[in-house]
Amino acid sequence: MAKINPKFTDELKKYGAFDTNACYNCGHCTAVCSLSTEDDSFPREMVRFSVLGLEENLKTSLKPWLCYYCGECSETCPRQAFPGELMMTLRRWLTAKYDWTKLSGLLYKSLPVSITFFLLVIAAVIGFGSYEKFDTEKIMHLGHYFEMFSIAGVFAFILLPNIIRMWYFTIVKAGVKVKFVTYFTKIWELIVHMFTQKRALGCDDNQLRWFEHLILVIGYLSLLFTTVVLDWFGTESTFIIWLGYAESAVIFIVTFIFMYERVKKSKELARHAHPSDWFFVIWLFLMGLTAFIVRIFIDADLIENNLWMYLIHLTVLVQWALIIVPFGKWTHFLYRSFAMYFDALKKIK
């Protein structure tokens, strides 16, 4: 038995939802959705749970992650209830629910808090620079260490516990019995979806967006590998240097296209962009761009006298690694692929 909580939609609105109550349950959204199936039928069910405020049903559901937001449901909704945006909102809300630190929710709901966090990081980087007396070599060396430790730390203390929480909600609490061995036999699902996002191809006319997204993911992951493992800023290898240039260029070009689309609001998914969506795409753009310029400065022997450029890059990097990756939209990279993995586990009879 589930109790109605009429106040829930007010809470959800803080995460971006619109006139959800306008829904009159016609089910048009579910009918037009090219990803919805008989077993995994959405978005109407999610709209209904939201209207009734059935938080438990929402928390234990993987369906928000199964939507790739083509926006067709919102375009055809006869009541302008924006079911597509509701699914997006639910992903934000779920991200906040999975996060044991509760910081995600705070950042999603309050723009001033987000900005304060970003400003604090700027102050910390400047403080760190002056503490190290703006010694370029030392700062860049420590910056490289920061990359490695932040990856390990964020993963161990934030992302891993949060994924375990997601598993707890959607598998254990949802009452799904999974044999231990199945976790291994189905691991392939996780890897495939993590690196290909092939489900997004199921959306109508989505090939171009899927391709842009795919090369962005590959570019991002390989740049991460190139900087952290191959030490792009410190290497002498011409191949690695050019590889890094190519990867960072891919990132800022694709993110520029994404930003352009969001400004033009040409696609349904871009019409209701939440601050967190903007942060994600802007910071990714800045990451690619600043890394690209820093490497140019290094190659042109300008970096010694222009440490400020590296400090800008470091600021962007720290904001990215400590705010957006653990608590922001970056997590969808994990939750989406784990959702496909857990969904595959659920479907084993």
Partner 1 sequence: MKSKIGVYICHCGGNISDYVDVNKVREAVKDIEGVEISVDTMFACADSSQKQISDDISKKQLDGLVVASCSPKLHYPTFSAVAERGGLNKYNYVHANIREQVSWAHSDDKIGATEKAIKIVKAAIVRVKESVSLKPIEVKAQKSIAVLGAGVAGMRAAKELADLGIQVYLIEREHFVGGRISQLDYLCGADETGKELVTHLYEKIHEHTNVTLFTGAEVIKKSGSIGNFKIQVKITPRFIKNECNRDELLKAIEVCPVEVDDDFNFNITKRKAIYRNYDSEYPQKPTIDNKNCTRCGECEKVCSSIDFSQKEEILDLTVGSILAATGFDPYQPKEGEFGWGIGNVVTLPQFRRIINMCDDKLIYKGKEIKDIAYIYCVGSRQVDGDNKYCSRYCCTATLYTSILTHKKYKDIHSFHFNRGIRTYGKQEVIYDEASRLGDIFLQSYEYDPPEVTKLNGKTNVKIEDILTSGSEIDVDADLVVLVTGMEPRNDCSIGDVLKIPKGRDRFYNEIHMKLRPVETVIDGVTIAGACQGPKNIMESMNSALSAAAKSYSIVNKGELSLEPIIAKVDKETCVWCGKCAEACPFDAISMIKENGKDIAEINLSVCKGCGMCLPVCESNSIDMDGFTDLEIESMISVLAGS
Residues that bind partner 1 (CB under 8 A): 1-4, 6, 9, 19, 21-22, 24-25, 45, 48-49, 51-52, 54
The tokens describing 84, both together, are: 């597509």
DSSP string, 189-243: HHHHHHHH-GGGGGSTT-HHHHHHHHHHHHHHHHHHHHHHTS-TTT---HHHHHH
Classify burial at 281, counting beta carbons within 10 Å of its beta carbon; exposed 0-12, middle 13-18, buried 19 or more. buried
Smallest gap from Cβ 157 to partner 1, in A, equals 37
Nearest CA among 9, 40, 17, 165 for reference residue 87: 17
Smallest gap from Cβ 10 to partner 1, in A, equals 9
Smallest gap from Cβ 37 to partner 1, in A, equals 15
Residue placing its CB nearer to partner 1 in the complex, 12 or 254:
12
Q: How many residues does the chain have?
A: 349
Smallest gap from Cβ 30 to partner 1, in A, equals 12
Residue placing its CB nearer to partner 1 in the complex, 9 or 222:
9
Cβ neighbours around 175 below 10 Å, total: 7
Smallest gap from Cβ 48 to partner 1, in A, equals 5
Residue placing its CB nearer to partner 1 in the complex, 25 or 110:
25
> Residue 228 corresponds to which amino acid?
V
Smallest gap from Cβ 12 to partner 1, in A, equals 12
Residue placing its CB nearer to partner 1 in the complex, 83 or 326:
83
DSSP string, 279-335: HHHHHHHHHHHHHHHHHHHHHTT-TTT-HHHHHHHHHHHHHIIIIIHHHSGGGHHHH
Residue placing its CB nearer to partner 1 in the complex, 173 or 198:
173
Residue placing its CB nearer to partner 1 in the complex, 78 or 127:
78
d(CA 63, CA 340): 10
